[in-house]
Amino acid sequence: MKFPRNARIFRGQLDASPFVGVLFLVALFLVLNSSLVFLPGVPIRLPEAADLPGVAGPPLTVAVDQNGTFYFRNQVIQEERLRRELHQAAQETAQPLTLVLLADKSVPYGTIFHLANLASAAGMKEIVFAARPPGLPPRAPGLR
């Protein structure tokens, strides 16, 4: 039994407009997901370290920039208010909290030590210092 063939081989010009539309959509997705898009944040240059332990329990993050300004929950915070917030957070949870300290590498050791004492007095059981892995380039200022 022979089947009739109704399909013909296309021999005309190919329409490029659908391909151009897809190309523009791909370009738009690449631009919006790239690291060239400015994200507001605090420029912190973390020191390098290898094979650091992770965090097991629920973490709280405190950042200290090169000027010694404290940041907690993405907000600038004064030392006394930070003490109250850390104490309140330690009282609200049943699990022991871990403080993750993001300190710029130019912050004096005294400031880091003072912040660690402040956290342990507030009830934090463990303090972990954040670092970037060796070989990873530091982020540009103003980019997250």
**Residue 5 counted as domain residue:** no
Tell me if 6 is assigned to some domain: no
pLDDT digits (tens, 9 = 90+) for 51-95: 777 777 778 889 998 888 899 988 899 999 999 999 998 888 888
**CATH code of the domain containing 125:** 3.30.420.270
Place of tokens 């200290």: 64
Q: How many domains does the chain have?
A: 1
Considering the entire predicted model, what is its pTM?
0.63
Is pLDDT at 36 greater than 80 in this prediction?
no
Instruction: Tell me which residue range forms the domain holding 71.
Output: 39-144
Return the sign of the alpha-carbon dihedral for residues 93, 99, 102, 104. Answer: positive
pLDDT, position 35: 64
CA–CA gap between residue 118 and residue 68 (Å, rounded): 15
Q: Where are the alpha helices (DSSP H) in the chain?
A: 17-32, 79-92, 109-122
